[in-house]
Amino acid sequence: MRSLIFLSLAAPLLFAQPQPPPYPPKSAPAFTPGDADGLVITPNPKIRVAWLRPVHWRADGLSAHPIDGLPAPSASERAQMIKTLDALSAALKATPEGTRGLGFWVNESRHVMGQGRNELPVSSVPAAQWPLPFTVGIFPFYHEDILQANGQWRTSVRGETESISYRFNS
């Protein structure tokens, strides 16, 4: 009985340890006056987050990965794929977060995937005449800087958040 009473009194002390704040915080912290980027050091002192740095988008070229000996897309096919992906990017950039977003940047990874002969339906149409699938991955990253050994801050690409992919002609 005594141990049960002791446990009921000690349990709150044993389990009521202070918890660190959630990261990233749900709302912006107070910033130093004159700090245009809204720099905040994370629980790891070698990483800082730029809460107020404006969003920017970076899209790589449309890299081709033809497979199974099928021809790569022609210049006109490639131009049409890029036009489609640019239209998708424009729609996403037109959203409030895409135009006025703060604290993150976006990397678009674009690829022509190619068709495997075993992926095509049985048909009399030659494999080279089937449309080539192409994809884009949208990867938002926190604006994070990492402190280097020389004391300089370098932009990081490690702060990836939730990503999404779109696949066309599949």
| pLDDT at residue 52 in the model | 87
d(CA 143, CA 51): 7
Q: In the chain, helix, strand, coil percent, each to 5?
A: 25, 30, 45
Residue 36 clears pLDDT 80, i.e. is over it: yes
- The arithmetic mean of pLDDT across residues 51-78, rounded, is 77
- The arithmetic mean of pLDDT across residues 107-113, rounded, is 85
| pLDDT at residue 65 in the model | 62
